[in-house]
């Protein structure tokens, strides 16, 4: 299984990596949405993307829209890891194609439960 972790915070990327690697994911990292798209174009199979909302260059919502516009990537699961809790913004993210949200700060149990909920992996 392959996961792409996109966050402009290196510390947050490390936190996420340490949670999903033991679940069996091979992790690729990116620091913003544009870098994420570049990484994605070079990956054969991607099962899971964990993406931050607020990032420079290209934010999480723009990234999600770009990924969901690509029909070849229809099966992958997109989880937005964010501090945004405003209902209108979250509705917009869901319409763009986000499968689940994880609110910062979070515990590893919360993240793992969300991954089970959307049916990615078998752990
Ligand atoms: Mg950020």
Average pLDDT of 90-113? 94
Kindly report the average pLDDT of the chain as a whole number. Answer: 94
8 Cα to the center of ligand 1, angstroms: 5
10 Cα to the center of ligand 1, angstroms: 10
For the segment(s) 2-117, the CATH number from 2.60.40.10, 3.40.50.2300, 3.40.30.10, 3.10.20.30 is 3.40.50.2300
Strand residues in 7-113 grouped as ranges (E): 26-30, 48-52, 77-82, 100-103
- The pLDDT of residue 121 is above 80: no
Strands 100-103 and 48-52: unpaired
Ordered by start, the domain boundaries in the chain are 2-117
DSSP assignment of 52-113, as one string?
Answer: ESS-SSS-HHHHHHHHHT-GGGTT-EEEEEES---HHHHHHHHHHT--EEEESS--HHHHHH
pLDDT, one tens digit per residue, over 17-76 is: 999 999 999 999 999 999 999 999 999 899 999 999 999 999 999 999 999 998 778 889
What's the whole-model pTM score? 0.95
pLDDT of residue 71: 76
Residues in the 5 Å CB sphere of ion ligand 1: 8, 52, 54-55
Backbone phi, psi, residue 69, to 5°: -75, -15
17 Cα to the center of ligand 1, angstroms: 16
pLDDT of residue 58: 97
């Amino acid at each position: 299984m392959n996961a792409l972790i996109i966050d402009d915070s290196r510390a947050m990327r490390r936190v996420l990596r340490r949670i999903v690697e033991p679940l069996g994911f091979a992790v690729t990292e990116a620091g913003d949405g544009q870098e994420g798209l570049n990484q994605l174009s070079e990956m054969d199979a991607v099962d899971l993307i964990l993406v931050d909302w607020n990032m420079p260059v290209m934010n999480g919502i723009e990234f999600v829209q770009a990924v969901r516009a690509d029909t070849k990537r229809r099966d992958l699961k997109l989880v937005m890891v964010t501090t945004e809790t405003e209902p209108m913004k979250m509705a917009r993210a869901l319409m763009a194609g986000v499968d689940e949200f994880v609110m910062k700060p979070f515990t590893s149990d919360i993240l793992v439960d969300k991954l089970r909920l959307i049916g990615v992996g078998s752990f």
